[in-house]
Amino acid sequence: MASKSFSSSSSSSGCSPASDRRISVLARHLVAENALSSSPIYASPTSSANSVFAHIARGPEDPILGVTVAYNKDPSPVKLNLGVGAYRTEEGKPLVLNVVRKAEHMLVNDRSRVKEYLPIVGLADFNKLSAKLIFGADSPVIRENRITTVQCLSGTGSLRVGGEFLAKHYHQRTIYIPLPTWGNHPKVFTLAGLSVKTYRYYDPATRGLNFQGLMEDLGSAPSGAIILLHACAHNPTGVDPTPQQWEQIRRLMRSKALMPFFDSAYQGFASGSLDEDAQPVRMFAADGGELLVAQSYAKNMGLYGERVGALSIVCKDADVAGRVESQLKLVIRPMYSNPPIHGASIVAAILKDGNLYNEWTIELKAMADRIISMRKQLFDALHARGTPGDWSHIIKQIGMFTFTGLNSEQVAFMTREYHIYMTSDGRISMAGLSSKTVPHLADAIHAAVTRMK
Ligand code: PLA
């Protein structure tokens, strides 16, 4: 045997026991390699003919982010990306808020800052300030310390961590999401281990809220079920319940012990006011019941790529909140260990400084106002063209998106003929539009509805 002769020859050469061991390990390794290379079924992933991944089918592009992939490939000079919800200026450029630049400048010049790992739950200041932002500075849940807030990877990561926590520790594993909803919701929650069902939300006939359907579906959900609610600026419909309807939803949910899980991805983008957009969450927090909320700073601070968000879980008392947090850490640690420091430091710097905070609210309001003015301009442009149909929903809907009612063939036509990119459900990101591009979009919609009925 090769190994035997190798080791015996080495020991006879007078080596130490340690080097003997190393040599015999090396010998076993070489023998094993020899055995493998002489085997007829040997296949290396690097050998050109047979990849061990050869059976893998190409996956589909993401329905939202894939729109940008297609847009980037189009050489047309008039192309327009109204797919992903990302704010653009009147010049069609991405915007870094001035207040963000100021905060970054402060951070860069602060020599005391280090790049150590954050704790598993993230930056403490950021967590406290995020809770204050969504629940209000004088909120009883903060005063009574019966809340845990953990920094997560933007809105998506917060939803995923919340979903995983519920799947592990909550007695009901079914989550009801609105129909329709953000396309990633069902995937995030299914992979978190929850079972996903829908409740009626949007009525295509009125292009408004199907309030009766919503109340019936929540009314027949099993006691304790989790209900995903868009805190404001519902994506993709742009249709939110009125404050009175929210109150009825709250009463029904509390009477059936349904667990609210708010997705707050657009605080400040619906009305232009951070406090007003947080009202539904605050209404539920004020009644003493428990709830979850996922916050994102992607849109309202323009920190898309920084991946900064937070998950808060409101509990009955401080003791429960502490234990919930200990379990959230066990969810987070094996997933990504701990969150990134930079984006959270920017947010914390802005939220804790009165002047920066005020400046932020002004810039945020300007973004919200520009979107509202795009709604008016698009509505007027369609009206001027005599485009068949009632387009008043463009000005009634709120937030980043208009759910146009265009069908997938009309959307495909607009992409093919006009190089306008949007999701196939007819959603357009109003934030991607500008005064210069409104006429082009209005021409495309007019052609689509008149030619592709
Ligand atoms: N929740 C809702 C309702 C959203 O619309 C989005 C983003 C998120 C959560 C997640 O955002 P974040 O992880 O970046 O914080 N929706 C976008 C982008 C803007 C996307 O699909 O990723 C959209 O175009 O719908």
**Residues whose CB is less than 8 angstroms from the CB of residue 258 and which lie 6 or more positions away in sequence, other chains included:** 218, 221, 223, 224, 225, 226, 227, 252
Q: Is 125 considered catalytic here?
A: no
CA 66 to chain centre: 15
Tens digit of pLDDT for each residue in 63-90? 999 999 999 999 999 999 999 999 999 9
Tens digit of pLDDT for each residue in 38-56? 445 545 555 557 899 999 9
Please state which of the four CATH numbers 3.40.640.10, 3.40.710.10, 3.90.1200.10, 3.40.50.2300 is assigned to the domain occupying 117-352. Answer: 3.40.640.10
pLDDT of residue 44: 56
Ligand 1 centroid to 265 CA: how many Å?
7
Asked if pLDDT for residue 150 goes beyond 60, the answer is: yes
**Residues whose CB is less than 8 angstroms from the CB of residue 179 and which lie 6 or more positions away in sequence, other chains included:** 198, 199, 200, 201, 202
Ligand 1 pocket check: which of 68, 156, 159 to mutate, most ligand atoms within 8 Å of Cβ? 156
Tens digit of pLDDT for each residue in 300-333? 999 999 999 999 999 999 999 999 999 999 999 9
Classify burial at 125, counting beta carbons within 10 Å of its beta carbon; exposed 0-12, middle 13-18, buried 19 or more: middle
Q: Is 246 considered catalytic here?
A: no
Ligand 1 centroid to 17 CA: how many Å?
62
pLDDT of residue 453: 74
pLDDT of residue 45: 54
Q: What is the pTM of this model?
A: 0.89
Domain ranges in the chain with CATH number 3.90.1150.10: 65-96+364-451
Return the residue whose CA atom lies nearest to atom 16 of ligand 1: 85
Q: Is 203 considered catalytic here?
A: no
Of the pLDDT bands very low, low, confident and very high (cuts 50, 70, 90), residue 119 is very high
Q: Of 199, 313, 223, which Cα lies nearest the Cα of 262? A: 313
Domain ranges in the chain with CATH number 3.40.640.10: 117-352
Ligand 1 centroid to 85 CA: how many Å?
7
Tens digit of pLDDT for each residue in 154-175? 999 999 999 999 999 999 999 9
Of the pLDDT bands very low, low, confident and very high (cuts 50, 70, 90), residue 103 is very high
Which tops the pLDDT comparison, 7 or 156? 156
Of the pLDDT bands very low, low, confident and very high (cuts 50, 70, 90), residue 193 is very high
Return the residue whose CA atom lies nearest to atom 11 of ligand 1: 155
Catalytic position from the list 217, 277, 299, 425: 299
Tens digit of pLDDT for each residue in 403-435? 999 999 999 999 999 999 999 999 999 999 999
Ligand 1 contact via 302 beta carbon (within 6 Å): no
Please state which of the four CATH numbers 2.60.40.1180, 3.90.1150.10, 3.40.50.300, 3.90.230.10 is assigned to the domain occupying 65-96+364-451. Answer: 3.90.1150.10
CA angle 313, 272, 398 (to 5 degrees): 85
Ligand 1 contact via 81 beta carbon (within 6 Å): no
